[in-house]
Amino acid sequence: MIYTGLGVGLSVAVGPVRRMAHTVHEPDAGPSALSREVELERAKRALDAVAAELEHRAQRAGGPAAEVLSAQVLMVRDPDVWDEIEASISEGLSSERAAFLAFRGMAELLKSLGGTQAERAADLEDIGWRTVANLTGVPYGVIPVADEPFVLVADDLSPADTAVLDLDQVVALVTSGGSPTAHTAILARARGLTAVVSAPGVLDIPDDTVVVVDAAAGTVDSEPTSARIAEAKAAQIAVEDDSPASPGRLSDGTAIPLLANIGSVSDAREATAKGAEGVGLLRTEFLFLDAAEAPSVETQAAEYTEIVAALEGRKVTARTLDAGADKPLAFLDLGHEDNPALGVRGIRTGRKDEKLLKDQLEALARTQAADVGELWVMAPMISDAAEAEWFVSLAREAGLKTVGVMIEVPSCAVVAEQVYEVVDFVSIGTNDLTQYTMAADRQNGAVAAYQDAWHPAVLRLIGMVGKAATASKKPLSVCGEAASDPVLALVLVGLGVTSLSMTPKALRDVRATLARFSSDEVRELAAAALAASTAEGAREAVRAALPRPLR
């Protein structure tokens, strides 16, 4: 039987089914036998434990998963949730019933809003179940264990579980619920996991049934022929093949270099193994965030040099310190900020402590002088051309040769033609550009649904930067999460983006997708997206306009 859903990525996987059971049940609605004070303390301890577990998983997972799970921690600690829990306990309900009602109520509110807002409701429901599980002593989120790799089938899987799946065990993820834009699907893509979501009926597939999961087709075949199984296994072997990958390019030969986002030497080695043509984003803050004091110029230079050398001559684009807001520094007192996302962060920390920025630029210049590879440098959170010129002047004084900026603030996109007059290149951070365009804090789970780079408003800003890049004949890269989506990558290139930087595991699918379409075709797809009025409308319009299948 063929079950149809929505695929995440383009890969194929085959394996026996293992279903994930839901072990937590809705708490009893009767009155509590405990006092109000005891129940409040139980609820507080449970919420603290859930938040701590999510924080631990965020640290283990890193990358996009860390951002998603950090946002969930804020959901756990939402004062409105606590007010609801406290009110229910004051009415005589148990802490588990109170927590269940509070998170379910918030989830129902998001569902009522529809669209991508409704997709984030699953995150709240998951937190509610985790809290109930903690209070009742029942295990939650237990992934099956088997002697061979398997296909995990579930009603839905939380981001917290997706982020720590053992990919030596789980070859594919299939859910009856969810959507391709929900956090679980986003993390599956970031981890290179074959997935089909929103596939009704898959929970009826018995354990041990061998299935073929085809993400490109969005299908799960529970009765595959031997020939289909052999074909799927061959495709899996091809994915695991470490032979050199061809450069990124469109079907007409237009080069679109495919780069990787990294934050360590190990990331650099993985990027090389996955066929990255270079690094479009080296997150340098890994040296700063856990430090009690600013790292020395010597320490920074040694670390940067090791990473650039690991790329074996490929270009590396280093982003200067992006701290503040959700990434505070122990040694830099930014003071209290009511809205840190709109406060001192990115390049603004360098303006607050210019020595911190100058030291980093000197360290990067030493790496450049070591001549172990090609080094470009860019600054985050630039607001306009004047700020871009200020940074470029400091970088030039330090001796850096190729200097650019990140466009993440809408004001900078609007004046992109002025920015290109003073820089060598531009990179767009779609995560923050979306946040600021949609006025939706990335760390606020209640508005997470607005964080969708498919929105035509975001795409139009990218298009403005693309036109400025074309006119200036200078490079334009995207290093946000949007670059990892193979279909959205087509739109970005159609808008004038000349290279894409992403999680290394997304490189294969994006490379294969770009190779199927020409320059004229991607421009037509971009036009279809811009003509839509919503993110979902843009996504649907582009898929409907595809002149041929993705694979």
Residues known to be catalytic: 183, 479
| Buried residues in 8-46 as b, exposed as e (16+ CB within 10 A) | bbbbbbbbbbbbbeeebeebeeeebeeeeeebbebbeeb
Name the residue type at position 296. S
C-alpha distance from residue 282 to each of 164, 320, 439 (Å): 23, 9, 27
User: At what angle are helices 535-545 and 486-494 packed, to 10 degrees?
Assistant: 90
Q: How far is CA 342 from CA 296, 349, 429, 435, 452, in A?
A: 29, 12, 16, 10, 19
**Cα→Cα distances 497→9, 44, 313, 492, 501, Å:** 21, 48, 23, 6, 11
Pairwise CA distance, residues 289 & 547, whole Å: 46
Q: Where are the beta strands (DSSP E) in 122-254?
A: 150-154, 170-175, 194-197, 210-214, 219-221
The count of other CB atoms within 10 Å of the CB of residue 268 is 25
CA triplet 548, 481, 379: central angle to 5 degrees? 130
Separation between Cα atoms, residue 233 and residue 224, nearest integer Å: 12
Question: And the tokens for 450?
Answer: 């607005």
Query: Alpha-carbon dihedral of residues 454, 460, 462, 466, nearest 10 degrees?
Result: 130
Among residues 320, 421, 325, the alpha carbon closest in space to that of 377 is found at 320
Q: Please, are residues 413 and 465 in contact by the beta-carbon 8 Å criterion?
A: yes
Phi, psi of 236 (to 5 degrees): -65, -40
CB 418 within 8 A of CB 425: no
- By DSSP bridging, strand 258-262 and strand 499-502 are parallel
Please say whether the beta carbons of 481 and 261 come within 8 A. no
Place of tokens 């004062």: 79
Radius of gyration, CA atoms only, the chain: 24
